[in-house]
């Protein structure tokens, strides 16, 4: 279970998140949606402390950290909470000098000190899960964007995190390649993987998410089950945003 309570994030005089509270149940998928600059990626990065909240509380499982203006948690506390998460980035961020299987193995060997043979066996099982076992020895530069993102998902899953965080996982891909990633994330969701994703991709959010949180101006405008929020949003601001996403999706399919 993830609980974000009264999260505030400031960059100097700019307040990006304003007392945001979100709860994600174990085995559920929550999509963070909203316009660019609305705060969804910042909120996602606050979960694993890539961004340190200015105020509020972050809880993942049994681990909890509280934040106050002017204070900063110790590195060990940050690592203890961050170690329960896996992160999938918008632009893949694979190591270019490592093969696909070596990318998945890297954290297990260097951080968790797994024996190389055990790490490789685990990495191959994850590559098989995301449909990339046949590219295990390929270099990232030889892979399509969709293939690179699937390797990145396998890498994020390698340490068996409590929650998988996805920051715009399909936005760098064209519609055909993004379909590969949607398929993989859909399989993980069906298996009960806890996920939080920041996304503009209506197809991804509507297919995979159980709950949706709509953020605008650093505040939660509306939250609810994905089917209800996408078909019958209660707030006018949400209605306008969903209509924009739907129109963009239809234009993308027509290209």
Task: Provide the residue ranges of all domains of the chain, joining segments of one domain with +.
Answer: 18-51+72-84+161-255, 93-160
Element (H, E) at 210: none
* Residue 64 in this model has a pLDDT that exceeds 70: yes
Residues of the chain above pLDDT 70, percent: 96
Mind listing the pLDDT tens digit for each residue in 193-234?
Answer: 999 999 988 888 988 999 999 999 999 999 999 999 999 999
Closest CA to 204 of 224, 187, 181, 221: 181
- What tokens appear for 86 in the block? 């896996």
Q: Shortest CA distance to 122 belongs to which of 144, 98, 103?
A: 103
- Read off the pLDDT band of 71 (50, 70, 90): confident
Per-residue pLDDT tens digits for 85-118: 999 998 888 999 999 999 999 999 999 999 999 9
Mean pLDDT on 16-35: 95
| 18-51+72-84+161-255 CATH pick, 3.20.20.370, 3.40.50.300, 3.40.50.720, 3.50.50.60 | 3.40.50.300
30-34-40 Cα angle (round to 5): 60
């Amino acid at each position: 279970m993830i609980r974000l309570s009264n999260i505030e994030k400031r960059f100097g005089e700019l307040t990006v998140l304003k007392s945001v509270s979100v709860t994600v149940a174990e085995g559920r998928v929550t999509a963070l949606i909203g316009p660019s600059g609305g705060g969804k990626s910042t909120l996602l990065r606050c979960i694993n402390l890539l961004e340190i909240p200015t105020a509020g509380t972050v809880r993942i499982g049994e681990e909890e950290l509280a934040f106050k203006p002017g204070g900063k948690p110790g590195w060990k506390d940050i690592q203890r909470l961050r170690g329960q998460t896996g992160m999938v980035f918008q632009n893949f961020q694979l190591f270019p000098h490592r093969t696909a299987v070596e990318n998945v193995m890297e954290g297990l060997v260097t951080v968790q000190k797994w024996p190389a043979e055990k790490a490789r066996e685990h990495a191959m099982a994850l590559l098989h899960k995301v449909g990339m076992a046949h590219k295990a020895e390929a270099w990232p530069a030889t892979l399509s964007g969709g293939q690179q993102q699937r390797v990145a998902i396998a890498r994020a899953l390698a340490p068996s995190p409590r929650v998988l965080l996805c920051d715009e996982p399909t936005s760098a891909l064209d519609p055909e390649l993004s379909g590969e990633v949607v398929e993989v994330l859909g399989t993980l969701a069906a298996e009960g993987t806890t996920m939080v994703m920041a996304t503009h991709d209506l197809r991804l959010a509507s297919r995979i998410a159980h709950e949706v949180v709509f953020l605008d101006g650093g505040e939660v405008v509306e939250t609810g089950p994905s089917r209800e929020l996408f078909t019958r949003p209660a707030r006018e601001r949400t209605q306008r945003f969903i209509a924009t996403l739907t129109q963009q999706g239809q234009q993308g399919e027509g290209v």
